[in-house]
Structure formats: structure tokens, C-alpha cells
Structure 1
Amino acid sequence: MTAENILKTLVAFPVLGGESNLSIINWIKTYIESHGVSVNLLYNNEKNKASLHCRIGPEVDDGVILSGHTDVVPAEGQEWHTDPFVLTDKGDGKLYGRGASDMKGFIACCLAALPEMVKSNLKRPIYFGFTYDEEIGCLVGPELARTFNNYYKETPKYAIIGEPSLMEPIVGQKGIYILETYVNGSAGHSSRIKQEVSAIHEAMRLILWLEQKMDQLIVEERFDYRFQPPHSTIHIGQVHGGIAPNVIADKAKFYWDLRTIPMDSVDSIVSEFNAYCRARESELRQIFPDFSISTIENHPPVPHLDTKEDADIVDFVKRVSGNSKLNTVAFASEVGQYANEGFQSVICGPGSIVQAHRPNEYIEKAQLKEGVTMLQKLIYELSL
């Protein structure tokens, strides 16, 4: 099957992050097994989701992991001109469909190249690693990355995560952490604002502290110019609180995210924020003893990637991708989770991240072709 035909099948599985992915993962499993390759599934506790891993080639060290995720973001509420779960060719060199670029296109390239992988005289193995629930926080990437160290007797060397990068090797990714902060104040008449503790007023102070912390990092010139912007960012995306203009709010909450360059520590920033929260609690409990601030994870932190330009994988991926331009990204992916397990890791895949998560998502046919070509060159490299 061609990559385009496989992609058509994959797009037809409307598996969203958080939902069961067994329909698409079982199809992939059957396809791989039809080429004589043994496949392993890692189920969640409810047995309604599974990651997939397998090895093609010999049981020796220094193989390459090809990784992707099977879930997509919703299309409902967006203005699609075609059915998002029917891969559509309009004759303009593009294939439209949810997940075409992010990132079923890469998985389709892997499966299209599988017959050649099986027939080739590989001296080092190729592994597939396909996950679920990536789109809601890269939730199971760590488990699958660990599996490549624990399940196989040999040790893979490289991990290529095929997120859409226009086939550019991506050597850096910001770490990402999303949190929720809740403020419990005292309700009352708005004329008593100095005798009560407004949860909204305090939430605004906390938000201002976070903005000032970001500005402090800039003033201290904590920059990594590989990224745009070159500093860590702190962003508040949602704020809720209050019931009426003349009622002091006793409840408020806000959602915020940290996107840190490799030199900055998520834990350090959160620790400083929590220390400020404890100081505010100590002061304001003199007015309202039940005043409290609590911060919880919206989802676990996604680690950064900081692959050095002189790492072996960089030259390897330059050769197989045919692209020597290196780049960095600020979006979340599972690449840092593989790097944390000791695999030299990069992002490199067909399609553009600009198309991800938007209506009328597409991948260019030329990008699919380049994705398959990269894997053919990878097969050649591992056959030497």
C-alpha cells in the first residue's frame, strides 16, 4: 500500500485524545503482522486504549525508534470544507483531513516503508512506537519510552519522533507545564472590600506575580536564541470568578502554562510561586482565617529537548532527511520523554505544524513522498 492509501485509512479513524484508540491501533497491528512482524500492545488499566511497539530487524544494539501518536484533536466547531475524517484530494497537491499532518502522515510513511524494511538486510533494527492520548498531554509517552529500555534485551540508540517539521531536524523543544490555581476568599458586600478578602483581587495579584516573574527572566537575560521567543514564557489562558459586580468573590480560579527553555527549571519557578502564595495566605488569614490558595497540575509536565548539534543523531538525521537546517519548537511532543530515557532524540517528520489543530488541515503530497524517502534512506543506513 502507498503512504497515501494508508493515510486515507488512518484518517478515517476519528480517535480523539482521551478516547479509546483500539480501532486504529488494532488496524495498524494487523497490517504490521501481515508482514511477518511480531507486535506488542501496552494497554491502559481499563483495556480500552493501547500503545504499540515492535522491532523490525536483528536483536542488536544501536537501532532507531520511529515514534508517533494515533490520537487527534477535535474537528467539531471548526469550519471544515470537507469531512475531516475522509481524506480528500482536491487536485491541488494537498490531502485534507484531521490528523493528515499531525501526525498520521508520519505513521502512514512508516507503514508504507515497512515492506522494504522487512525485505532489507538490516544490520541494525528499526522499532515502531505508537501511542495514544498525546493530544491531551503526552500522557503515555514515558511508559512507552521506558518499554524500549525494559522489554528489549538490546538497546536502541536513536529516537525520531515524526511530528510535522517539514522534514527539518528539530533539536530543541521547550518544556511545558499546565497548572490550575484556586483561590478561596470571603464573600460579602462590595462596600466591605477592605474587611473581606476578594478571591478575584488575590487571583489578580498572583497573575501579576507570574507576569513579573517572566519579565524578571528577560531582565536577567536568560535567553536561548534557538527558540522564538528566546526566553521562558508564562501565560494565563483562563480566569473564572465572581457572581455579581456588587458581591465580593469568595472563589476564583485561573489556568496557566509554563513553557521553559532548557536552562530554566519548571520546578524552581513553581516553587517560587508557591512560596509567594504561602506568604499571601499568612498575611490574609489575619482578615479571613479560611483564606487559601492551591495549585494543581492540569496534566503532568512535558520535558524539554536539548539535543546538542554535535550529537551523533544530528548528522544521522541530516543524512536521511536530506535537510541540514536545524530548528527548535515550542509545542509539546513526546520527544523529551524519549531523551529522558537515554535515547538520542530529534523531531523530524512530514507536514507543517502550521496545519496542526486547525480547520481544513492538510499535508502536501510532496511531504508524504519526502517522508517515505527519508525512511528509505534510513533503511539503507541501517543496512550498511
Structure 2
Amino acid sequence: MTTEHIATQRFREFLRIDTSHPKPDYAKCAVFLEKYAQELGLSFQTIECVKGKPAHVLTWVGSNPSITAIMLNCHTDVVPVSRDKWTHDPFAADKAENGDIFARGSQDMKCVGIQYMEALRRMKASGTKPQRTLHVMFTPEEEVAGIDGMKLLVHSEEFKKLNIGFALDEGLANPEDHYKLFYGERAPWWLTLTARGKAGHGSQLMEPTATVRLVRTLNKFLAFRESESRRLKIGKKPDGSSFLLGDVTSTNVTILKGGVQHNVVPEEASAGVDIRIAPNVNLEAFKKQLEDWCREDEIEIEYVSTFWDNTTTATDDSNKWWTALKGVADKRNVKLDLEIFPAATDSRFIREIGIPAFGISPMRNTPILLHDHDEFLNEKIFLEGVDFYTDLIPVLADVKA
């Protein structure tokens, strides 16, 4: 009987811990990670900014701990599952004959956390002595916007003491033979637009009504949506390449509310809007534009959630971390596709406080299945990722101060 690779064993163990929302099993996850830290000879620390939602720091102190450390981030929570849509138990981590490992979190992003850890195992076995301290971070609540997770964590005194100078975080799978590397993100804004007007019988033509006011304003948002959609389809960047989703601003009406019955004109109507703002957009100017759209019809804007930083991490020779990462990719003959992450990850909170960060999940020739039914990652691709980090982490750890 062939013994399964130790990295695959740990990967499947991690996947079997049900950390799906709304009730992630963070307690069982903590037990697994503390035991893992002991196995690899790493120190283990827990930071709990919100009770019951712990972040764990597994640390290998470098030979020169006075210089800034490297952060290797992985979120522990995963999104819910619709079990009737899966052909495998989503928390059994079944492995098919061809090596496909089926589980929620196999791509997003428990694979990366284990790849970090197994790279450190190999480094220790080979006698590597990193100059910079390495912190493998396992953080909570990323899948619910990080409000009780990374958003608070980066401002904690415990985090500041880690002295982090550079961070790696998650990316996406790539169906092509490349790795996607994300150097920035769009700023997510969630708005509620509320209109008020005359109420009365549905047979009348009263002016102004809440619904007419709301629809007129939403049409402005949707016209902007159409212009950005057109730019995505046919627009070109200055270098002649096509725009990707992360390069444009997306707008979607996600909630509509109003009315009590068909023959009553409501006095109030509202809409929820999800906007993801491209990094090249001036956020203050964009806010003014939204408010100008709403002012004509006296629409009230509630900023349910906004993010006010769209900093990107440099991908040129001015950035020593980029140079190190690109050098490793070149040696491995892996092309990097540079993109703006279209959704949102914990990296935005890291960049916001001035720490450069890249998002990369080394999964090439792999369909993008995060949040999808039958999420899987092939064992061969997973182990290739361990190889990648085994090459990359020592280089990052020895980047000159």
C-alpha cells in the first residue's frame, strides 16, 4: 500500500474541519494548527480581536529578527455549501483516482496555508536558516468581509509587534498554464438608496412618487454600469492589452424594496447597490459623482460599507519583493499573469496600513471553483504549489534589508 504524501495528508485533515459559515468550527481548527506548529517546531500564538474568532500566528524566528518579517496569510473560514449540489461530501476531502481532492476550501484557500507549512517543513529538513522571521497567519472571517478578522487584526498591538514588511495572500486558480498574481484590489462599496414621495391609490398619477424617483436615479447607476461593461468588452489599455474585470468598476443593483400591495403607491422605496471601484478611480471624486446622481431626486444614500484605500503593490524593479518573486517564477519557468483582484481579500487591509502584498495561489491548469459546487484541487497541482513555496519563501526571507 502506497503511503500518501505528508503534505496531502495534512491538506485533507485541514479540509475535513468544517469551518463554513455561519458557524465555523474555529475551535477544532485551533487544535489542528497548534498541533501542526508543534510538529514543525514553530511557536504558536493566538490573537483574538473578537471573542470566538481567533487568528493564529505560527512563527519561525529568523537569524536576524531585527529586520522586518514575512507574513504568509491564509484564512481559515470557508463559504457555506449546498450539499444536494455536491457529488461528494464537502467536508470528507475525498480523493478521486486521478488525484482530484473534493472539499469546500480546497481552492479557497486551505491549500495555500498547507503549502506554506509544508514548504517550511522542507526548509527545516534541508537545514535552511532564514534571515527574516516567517509568520504563517491563519485568520478568521475573510469570507464575511473580514470585519471581525483582518480589519481589526492589522490595528492590534500584537500584530504591530510582528514587525511585518511584506505579505503573501490568496489569489485564484487559472485554467491556463500560468499563475495569476494580484497586486491590488477594487474597493468594495455597498450602498442603500432610499426614495420618498407621495403615497396614495394606485389609479392616480401623483408626482413625485418614491418609485419613480428611485428608478430615475437607478437608471443613472445602470448607465454607468453599461459604459464600464462596454469598456471591459472592447476597451484597450495604453499598452494595447484588453481590460480585465479588475480594471473596471462594476455596479450591481442587488436589493429592491418597496410597496405593500399592488393598488397602493408606496411612500418609500429603496435599493441596495454593490459597487467595486477600480484602483485608478479617485474615491472622493467618485463619491461626489454618486451624490450628484442622487441629489436631483432627493435620494438618501446610506453608505453601508465602504473601503477608502485602493493602493496597489508595485510590480517593477522599484519593489525588491516583486524582483524576488519574479526571479523564482522565471527559474521555475512559470509565467505570472498580473491582475487586479476583481472581488476582495484580506490583502486590502494589509496594503491599507502600508505593507506591500501580493495575492497568489499556485494553481495552474485548474478550473476556477471557489464558492462553487464540487470545489476540488488536483493533488499534483497542490504538490507543485508546495514546490513553488519551497523555492520562494527562502528567497523572500533573505531579501536584503
User: Please, what TM-score do these two structures have when normalized by structure 1?
Assistant: 0.85
| Equivalent of 1:151 in 161, 165, 173 | 161
Q: Distance in 2 between matches of 1:165 and 1:157?
A: 26
Q: Distance in 2 between matches of 1:353 and 1:251?
A: 44
Q: Distance in 2 between matches of 1:145 and 1:353?
A: 32
State the Cα distance separating 1:90 from its structure 2 match.
1.4
State the Cα distance separating 1:11 from its structure 2 match.
1.5
2:183 maps to 1:179: no
1:109/1:308 CA distance change after superposition, 3 Å = same
1:366/1:34 CA distance change after superposition, 3 Å = closer
* Greater mean deviation of Cα atoms: 177-186 or 209-218: 209-218
Matches within 5 A, 1:224-239: 227-229=243-245, 230-239=247-256
- Look up the match of 1:205: 216
1:11/1:312 CA distance change after superposition, 3 Å = same
Question: 1:148-181 CA distances to partner (integer Å, 9 max, x unpaired)?
Answer: 76123xx433211133344432223322222233
User: Please, what TM-score do these two structures have when normalized by structure 2?
Assistant: 0.82
**Contact between 2:49 and 2:152, CA under 8 Å: does it hold in 1?**
no
- Look up the match of 2:302: 295
- Regions of 4+ moved over 6 Å: 216-224
Task: For residue 370 of structure 1, give the secondary structure of its aligned residue in structure 2.
Answer: helix
2:365 maps to 1:341: no
| Equivalent of 2:201 in 182, 189, 195 | 189
Q: Distance in 1 between matches of 2:31 and 2:193?
A: 39
| Equivalent of 1:75 in 73, 81, 95 | 81
Matches within 5 A, 1:317-356: 317-321=325-329, 322=332, 323-328=334-339, 329-351=341-363, 354-356=368-370
2:117 maps to 1:111: yes
**Contact between 1:183 and 1:294, CA under 8 Å: does it hold in 2?**
no
**Contact between 2:170 and 2:345, CA under 8 Å: does it hold in 1?**
no
The residue type equivalent to 2:90 in the other structure is: P
- Look up the match of 1:377: 391
| Equivalent of 1:88 in 88, 94, 107 | 94
**Contact between 1:186 and 1:199, CA under 8 Å: does it hold in 2?**
yes
Task: For residue 88 of structure 2, give the secondary structure of its aligned residue in structure 1.
Answer: coil
Aligned-residue CA RMSD (Å): 2.9
State the Cα distance separating 1:68 from its structure 2 match.
1.3
Q: Distance in 1 between matches of 2:356 and 2:81?
A: 34
The residue type equivalent to 1:109 in the other structure is: Q
Task: For residue 40 of structure 2, give the secondary structure of its aligned residue in structure 1.
Answer: coil
State the Cα distance separating 1:361 from its structure 2 match.
0.4
Q: Distance in 2 between matches of 1:92 and 1:218?
A: 39
1:7/1:179 CA distance change after superposition, 3 Å = farther
2:144 maps to 1:136: yes
Question: 1:3-24 CA distances to partner (integer Å, 9 max, x unpaired)?
Answer: 2211211212222245342321
Q: What are structure 2's unaligned runs of at least 5 residues?
A: none
2:321 maps to 1:313: yes
Question: 1:166-199 CA distances to partner (integer Å, 9 max, x unpaired)?
Answer: 443222332222223333444311122324x433
Task: For residue 326 of structure 1, give the secondary structure of its aligned residue in structure 2.
Answer: strand
- Look up the match of 2:27: 22
The residue type equivalent to 1:42 in the other structure is: I
**Contact between 1:138 and 1:302, CA under 8 Å: does it hold in 2?**
no
| Equivalent of 2:17 in 10, 13, 27 | 13
| Number of residue pairs aligned between Structure 1 and Structure 2 | 369
The residue type equivalent to 2:252 in the other structure is: H
**Contact between 1:72 and 1:102, CA under 8 Å: does it hold in 2?**
yes
Q: Distance in 1 between matches of 2:242 and 2:55?
A: 32
Q: Distance in 1 between matches of 2:387 and 2:155?
A: 29
Q: Distance in 2 between matches of 1:379 and 1:218?
A: 39
Question: 1:115-157 CA distances to partner (integer Å, 9 max, x unpaired)?
Answer: 33445311222111221111111322233334576123xx433
**Contact between 1:184 and 1:199, CA under 8 Å: does it hold in 2?**
yes
